Amino acid sequence: MFDFSIVTTWFDSLLRDTLGLGNFLSILIECVLVGLIILMAYAMLAIVLIYMERKVCAFFQCRLGPMRVGKWGIFQVFADVVKMLIKEIFPVDKADKLLYAIAPFLVLIGSVGAFSFMPWNKGAAILDFNVGIFLLTAISSIGVVGIFLAGWGSNNKYSVVSAMRGAVQMISYEMSLCLCLITAVALTGTMSLTGIVESQNDGWLVFKGHIPAIIAFLVFLVAGNAEANRGPFDLAEAESELTAGYHTEYSGMGFGFFYLAEYLNMFIIAGVASTVFLGGWMPLHVAGLDGFNAVMDYIPGIVWFLAKTFFLVWILLWIKWSYPRLRIDQILKLEWKYLMPLSLLNLVLMTIVVALGWHF
What is the per-residue pLDDT across 277-318, written as a single tens digit (0 to 9) for each? 998 888 888 777 778 888 888 888 899 999 999 999 999 999
pLDDT range class, residue 273, cuts 50, 70, 90 = very high
- What pLDDT is stored for residue 214 in this prediction? 93
CB-based contacts of 215: which residues, under 8 Å, 6+ apart?
342, 346
d(CA 320, CA 257): 21
Residue 14 has pLDDT above 70, yes or no: yes
- What pLDDT is stored for residue 360 in this prediction? 64
- What pLDDT is stored for residue 293 in this prediction? 81
The tally of CA atoms less than 13 A away on the side-chain side of residue 55 is 14
Find how far residue 14's CA is from the centre of its chain: 34
Helices (runs of H) and strands (runs of E) counted in the chain: 16, 0
The percent of residues above 70 in pLDDT, for the chain, comes to 98
Q: What is the mean pLDDT of the chain?
A: 87
- Span 234-265, pLDDT tens digits: 877 776 666 777 888 888 888 888 888 888 99
- Residue that wins the pLDDT comparison between 358 and 190: 190
- Span 67-108, pLDDT tens digits: 888 888 889 989 988 888 888 888 788 888 888 889 999 999
pLDDT range class, residue 220, cuts 50, 70, 90 = very high
Residue 21 has pLDDT above 90, yes or no: no
pTM beyond 0.85: yes
Residue 184 has pLDDT above 80, yes or no: yes
Residue 346 has pLDDT above 90, yes or no: yes
- Buried b / exposed e along 39-51 (16+ C-beta atoms within 10 A): eebbeebbbebbb
The percent of residues above 90 in pLDDT, for the chain, comes to 31
Nearest Cα neighbor of 317 from 249, 246, 354, 269 is 269
d(CA 89, CA 94): 16
The residue-averaged pLDDT of 37-62 equals 90
